[in-house]
Structure 1
Amino acid sequence: MTIAIGDKIPSATFKEKTADGPVEITTEQLFKGKKVVLFAVPGAFTPTCTLNHLPGYVENFNALVEKGIDEIAVVSVNDWHVMGAWAQASGGFGKIHFLADWDASFTKALGLDIDLSGGGLGVRSKRYALIADDGVVKHIAIEENPGQATVSGAPAILEQL
């Protein structure tokens, strides 16, 4: 079953690269008492993710904060080394949490996993974005096509705030 408006974000632990090295971050740490935008991509460094989806969140970081967002995070079924390198390469390091869902356990708990084996990627996350308030989903937008970032892009999320 796919997560929906009114549902609580399931418990999970991610790895994130910080200036001090890798740390574990839980959904409770990320969401408790905060208004959060979480978006997901099928893969770090993939074309749509790197050229279209992520840049909108980096560019609109201040606008999202001005609209009351406390945290912005991107999650992908990649390891923390890849996510850390992507954070550095994108200019998003220190602004956006780059969360590694290395085994897709969080993605599967949301019901948003997709098998992209045909494209050589294996099990990944669908492309989506959600707004959560204190861990409860207030808005969710799931892309029909993983090669597009329209309803889950930063401009569309800004319109929801």
Structure 2
Amino acid sequence: MTSIINTATQAAHAAAASLVAKAQIKPGDAIPSTQNLLKEDAADKPLASLSLTGKNVIVGVPGAFTGTCNKQVPGYIEKYEAFKAKGINEIFVVAVNDLFTMKAWKENLAPNGTPVRFLVDDTGAWVTSLGLLFDATPLLGAPLTEGDKVDFIAVEQVPSDIQVTGAETILAQLS
């Protein structure tokens, strides 16, 4: 009985995700507005907007504390200065999580702090507008931006492999 309920729930979630999904963002597209969609410091205080100036890396992850993300995100923390040296203004890690979990994950990954910004899209609205909301499908993406325009986007076909969204690979894309 449990497997029937789980299967039905998964099918309903997949159907709902496909209804709200839009085409995946691509180079040349503007980053959708983040107005009041993302949170960083307080669960009841969304960011008015995400100010993107210069080149930025936005690392979209399926969730805090997941196996793949625990392998992927530390590279961005460790190589932060190398990214800065390549002209990256800011690195953002965005997950469809609650703020409390994301803060705990950041503390776990960087107990001494990090300038990498961890943001939550607790409703999934912003990730949906990027076309990167998924239902357990391989859509682990990392857009690079120039201001509010997408310059490059890397999307993993097999998220657990971290072939195209790892810090080393993204760093190599920068001139």
Correspondence for 2:135: 115
The one-letter code matched in structure 2 to 1:90 is L
Scaled by the length of structure 1, the TM-score of the pair is: 0.85
1:91 to 110, 115, 128: 110
Corresponding residue for residue 81 of structure 2: 62
- Return the alpha-carbon distance in structure 2 between the equivalents of residues 113 and 39 of structure 1: 13
The structure with the greater share of residues assigned to strand is 1
Secondary structure, counterpart of 1:15 in structure 2: coil
Alpha-carbon shift at residue 146 of structure 1 (Å): 2.4
- Structure 1 residue 35: deviation in Å? 1.4
For structure 2, list consecutive stretches of 5 or more residues without a partner in the other structure.
1-22
Q: Is the 8 A contact 1:44 1:78 kept in 2?
A: yes
Which of residues 9, 26, 29 in structure 2 aligns to 1:7? 29
Separation in 1, partners of 2:33, 2:138: 17
Identity of aligned residues (%): 38
Which one has the bigger helix percentage? 2
After superposition, residues 136-155 of structure 1 pair within 5 angstroms as 136-155=149-168
CA RMSD of aligned residues (A): 1.8
Which amino acid letter does the alignment assign opposite residue 40 of structure 2? E
User: Aligned partners of 1:26 and 1:98: how far apart in 2?
Assistant: 16
Give the letter for the 1:9 counterpart. Answer: I
Q: Is the 8 Å Cα contact of residues 6 and 137 (structure 1) preserved in structure 2? A: yes
* Deviation of the 1:147 alpha carbon: 1.8
TM-score by length of 2: 0.78
User: After the TM superposition, which parts of structure 1 deviate over 6 Å for at least 4 consecutive aligned residues?
Assistant: none
Q: How does 1:115-134 map to 2 (within 5 A)?
A: 115-116=135-136, 126-134=139-147
Mark the CA change 1:26 to 1:153 in structure 2 (over 3 Å): closer, same or farther.
farther
Displacement, 1:148?
Answer: 2.4
- 1:45 is aligned to 2:65: yes
Number of equivalenced pairs: 148
